């Protein structure tokens, strides 16, 4: 009931905020980045360091979610559920209008959300698309974490102490628990599976490059694919190994140039090959056997295409994305998914570029515990890479709209495809009336409706006209919107956090870092309000 009461209060607050009355002293992106680069957020710290600023950031996130969704809040005030998750965990229920928010009643079952994963985390829904939950988490907790002395106490004390992840103090007595109490281990995994089913998750995408994380000679974490009891056999498991945050030191040292940067797959600890069920790869036209030859740009692009194809499929199955701890590689792909779907106009439809940027930086990165201050000190700039990478996903091939609209037209002399229509605007076909002024395109109707179809009229303009068919406009908007997000990020990041450029080349050629700003912010103005 506490969760329901919190949800009602938050929904009410979201409704009033979205009606034009923003919270007082609303923080800008610059203030957020400044706080982020100085403080590591921990829910258990409450209103400690930077308390008032953090509270404003939290309230701003709730207000932005409330613009387009009715949602519940899972209370995590003092890190009672997880010390590394937001104090107000948002559970999106459905897209909504202002009128619907007045009658909203929470349906979330808070008791389902129990820790079962690395660092006391659990599967957490963060994006709602076509009625499906896109979730994030850490990987599964292994014997070392679960049965270490501090870990064992953690699971029975409510999870307030995040020191449990350290396993230096594991003793012989602790290890005896491993062989003597396997029922607890089964019970914790059982909680995890029940939560996955509650969220209708079918696809689990694992970004780890190892089957199990080994520390001090002990398996500290595990993964679904390495579960010997095959508890996760009913789920579709995808192993898509992706370099850890340490690799992004090389990205920074190459003057922030990801092109040509290839991960070394021959390192001793890398023991997971890419593994994707064949039935999920047919429509993507990607040679997955070459994944070890891809540079960082190609690898990130292809993985994002895969994730988009999963969430945009015709079924109603949800998706889980996770790495080891869930606060580096995981937010990278969650953030790219959120921004890509937003750029298509499919989620967070009322948010402007500066607002969606604020939401994903604050919620997906800051409030879920990304250690920016630590990563910056070591030059491991995966956070910067995420938003600078937006320039590589502006094209139609990353659009979820493309999949929805790539349907054949009703049979007519063999039928026309959408590609045929495209050709009509580039070649002289004579009078447009000979083909008809309009064609009906079969496409899925609303994202939430499954199995129903509608017809959308697409106007064919005369040959040579500078305009395009109406359905192409969204793709053009996608590029513009992502460019605006990237430009706003680069401007704010450079002014509040700063970049560490490598020494200029002796040839005097423009460096990669300078080129980022020449392309990103040098050629377009940035409103000071966005900073």
Q: What is the pLDDT of residues 451-498, one digit of tens each?
A: 333 333 333 333 444 434 444 744 579 999 999 999 999 999 999 998
Mean pLDDT of all residues in 20-24: 39
Cα–Cα dist 381/358, whole Å: 18
**What pLDDT is stored for residue 303 in this prediction?**
98
Comparison of pLDDT for 502 and 224, the residue scoring more:
224
| Confidence (pLDDT) at 214 | 54
Q: How far is the C-alpha of 468 from the C-alpha of 389, rounded, in Å?
A: 28
Better pLDDT: 251 or 226: 251
Higher model confidence: residue 519 or residue 351? 351
pLDDT-derived band of residue 436, with 50, 70 and 90 as boundaries?
very low
Closest to 90 in 3D by CA, of 119, 117, 110: 110
Q: Where does the pLDDT of residue 146 fall: very low under 50, low under 70, confident under 90, or very high at 90 and above?
A: low
209-237 mean pLDDT: 70
d(CA 381, CA 388): 11
Strand 132-137 versus strand 124-129 pairing type: antiparallel
Neighbours of 47 (CB within 10 A): 10
- pTM for the model stands at 0.76
Residue 170 pLDDT grade (very low, low, confident, very high; cuts 50, 70, 90): very low
**355: its two tokens:** 């607002």
The whole-number pLDDT of residue 25 equals 34
* Tokens linked to 331: 């937010």
- Write out pLDDT tens, residues 295-337: 999 999 999 999 999 999 989 999 999 998 888 999 999 999 9
Q: Which pLDDT score, from 0 to 100, does residue 145 have?
A: 59
Tell me if residue 106 falls in helix, strand or coil: coil
Alpha-carbon gap, residue 7 to 93, rounded angstroms:
11
Phi (first) and psi of residue 263, to 5 degrees: -70, 145
CB-based contact 303:95 (threshold 8 Å)? no
Give pairs for 306-309: CB < 8 Å, separation 24+: 306/205, 306/238, 306/240, 306/276, 306/280, 306/281, 307/205, 307/333, 307/337, 308/337, 308/340, 308/341, 308/398, 308/400, 308/403, 309/280, 309/283, 309/284, 309/403
pLDDT for residue 500: 67
More confident residue, 145 or 281: 281
pLDDT category at 361 given cuts 50, 70, 90 is very high
DSSP E strands, 189-277: 201-206, 213-215, 218-222, 236-239
Is it the case that residue 69 has pLDDT exceeding 90?
yes
Model confidence at 6: pLDDT above 90: no
Give the separation between CA 482 and CA 28, rounded to whole angstroms.
19
Tokens matching residue 474 = 């969204």
- What is the structure's pLDDT at 98? 62
Residue 114 pLDDT:
76
pLDDT, position 499: 77
CA dist 342 → 227, 336, 505 (Å) = 35, 10, 38
Strands (E), 406-497: 438-444, 453-459
Q: What is the largest CA-CA distance in the chain?
A: 85
| Phi then psi dihedrals of residue 135, to 5 deg | -115, 165
The answer, yes or no, to whether residue 413 has pLDDT greater than 70, is no
CA-wise closest residue to 460 among 425, 429, 489: 425
What average pLDDT score do residues 353-361 get? 97
> Does residue 410 register a pLDDT over 50?
no
Give per-residue pLDDT as tens, 85-135. 999 999 999 998 766 667 788 888 888 887 767 667 889 999 999 999 999
The total number of residues shown for the chain amounts to 531
Asked whether the predicted pLDDT for residue 141 surpasses 90, the reply is no
Q: Are 146 and 139 in contact (CB under 8 A)?
A: no
Query: What is residue 405's predicted lDDT score, i.e. its pLDDT?
Result: 56
Number of Cβ atoms within 10 Å of the Cβ of 25: 9
Instruction: Give the mean pLDDT of the chain.
Output: 74
Cβ–Cβ < 8 Å for 120, 84: yes
> So what's the pLDDT on residue 516?
58
Phi, psi (degrees; rounded to nearest 5) at 441: -105, 125
* 369 vs 46, residue with greater confidence: 369
Query: Tokens 């937001």 map to which residue?
Result: 86
333 Ramachandran zone, left/alpha/beta (phi>0; psi -120 to 50): alpha
Question: Annotated active-site positions, please?
Answer: 323
CA distance 311 to 307: 6
CA angle 70–75–80, rounded 5-degree value: 155
Whether the pLDDT of residue 443 is over 60: the answer is no
What tokens appear for 207 in the block? 């970004």
pLDDT average, residue stretch 427-450: 34
**In this structure, what token pair is assigned to residue 147?**
């049965």
The mean pLDDT of 59-67, rounded to a whole number, is 96
Rounded Cα gap, residues 477 and 394, in angstroms: 9
Quote the percentage of the chain above a pLDDT of 90.
47
Q: Which residues contact 27 (CB under 8 A, 6 or more apart)?
A: 35, 53, 56, 57, 60
By three-state DSSP, how is residue 248 classified? helix
Tell me what pLDDT residue 156 has: 38
Report residue 94: phi and psi, to 5°: -170, 160
Q: Is pLDDT at 12 greater than 60 in this prediction?
A: no
Cβ-contact 315, 357 below 8 angstroms: no
The least confident of 19-23, 56-60, 141-145, 344-348 is 19-23
Strands, E assignment, 46-131: 69-75, 88-95, 124-129
Rounded mean pLDDT of 488-509?
73
- DSSP 3-state of 96: coil
């Amino acid at each position: 009931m506490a969760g329901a009461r919190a949800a009602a209060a938050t929904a009410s607050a979201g409704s009033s905020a979205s009606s034009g009355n923003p919270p007082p002293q609303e923080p800008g992106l610059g203030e957020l980045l400044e706080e982020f680069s100085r403080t590591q957020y921990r829910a258990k710290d409450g209103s400690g360091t930077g308390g008032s600023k953090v509270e404003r950031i939290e309230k701003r996130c709730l207000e932005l979610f409330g613009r387009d969704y009715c949602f519940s809040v899972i209370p995590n005030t003092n890190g009672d559920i997880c010390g590394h998750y937001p104090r107000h965990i948002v559970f999106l229920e459905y897209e909504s209008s202002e009128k619907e928010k007045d009658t909203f009643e929470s349906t979330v079952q808070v008791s389902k959300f129990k820790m079962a994963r690395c660092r006391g985390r659990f599967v957490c829904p963060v994006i709602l698309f076509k009625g499906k939950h896109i979730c994030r988490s850490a990987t599964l907790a292994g014997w070392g974490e679960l049965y270490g002395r501090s870990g064992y106490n953690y699971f029975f004390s409510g999870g307030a102490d995040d020191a449990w992840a350290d396993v230096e103090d594991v003793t012989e007595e602790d290890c005896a628990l491993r062989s003597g109490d396997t029922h607890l281990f089964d019970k914790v995994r059982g909680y995890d599976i029940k939560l996955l089913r509650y969220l209708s998750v079918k696809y689990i995408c694992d970004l780890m490059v190892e089957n199990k994380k080994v520390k001090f000679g002990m398996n500290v974490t595990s993964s679904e694919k390495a579960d010997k009891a095959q508890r996760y056999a009913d789920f579709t498991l995808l192993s898509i190994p992706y370099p850890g945050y340490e690799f992004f030191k090389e990205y920074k040292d190459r003057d922030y140039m990801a092109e040509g940067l290839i991960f070394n797959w021959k390192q001793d600890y890398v023991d997971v090959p890419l593994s994707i069920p064949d039935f999920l790869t047919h429509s993507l036209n990607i040679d997955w056997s070459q994944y070890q030859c891809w540079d960082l740009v190609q690898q990130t692009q292809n993985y994002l295409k895969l994730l988009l194809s999963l969430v945009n499929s015709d079924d109603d199955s949800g998706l889980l994305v996770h790495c080891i701890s869930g606060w580096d590689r995981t937010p990278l792909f969650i953030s790219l998914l959120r921004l890509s779907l937003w750029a298509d106009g499919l989620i967070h439809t009322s948010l402007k570029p500066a607002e969606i940027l604020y939401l994903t930086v604050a919620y997906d990165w800051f409030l879920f515990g990304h250690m920016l201050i630590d990563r910056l000190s070591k030059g491991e700039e995966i956070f910067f890479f995420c938003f600078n990478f937006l320039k590589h996903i502006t094209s139609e091939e990353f659009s979820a709209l493309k999949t929805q609209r790539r349907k054949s037209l009703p049979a007519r002399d063999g039928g026309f495809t959408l590609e045929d229509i495209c050709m009509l605007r580039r070649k002289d076909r004579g009078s447009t009336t000979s083909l008809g002024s309009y064609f009906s395109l079969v496409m899925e109707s609303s994202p939430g409706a499954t199995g129903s179809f509608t017809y959308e009229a697409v106007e064919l303009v005369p040959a040579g006209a500078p305009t395009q068919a109406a359905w192409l406009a969204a793709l053009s908007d996608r590029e513009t919107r992502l460019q605006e997000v990237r430009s706003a990020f680069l401007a704010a990041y450079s002014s509040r956090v700063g970049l560490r450029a490598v020494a200029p080349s002796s040839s005097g050629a423009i460096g990669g870092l300078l080129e980022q700003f020449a392309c990103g912010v040098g050629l377009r103005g940035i409103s000071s309000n966005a900073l």
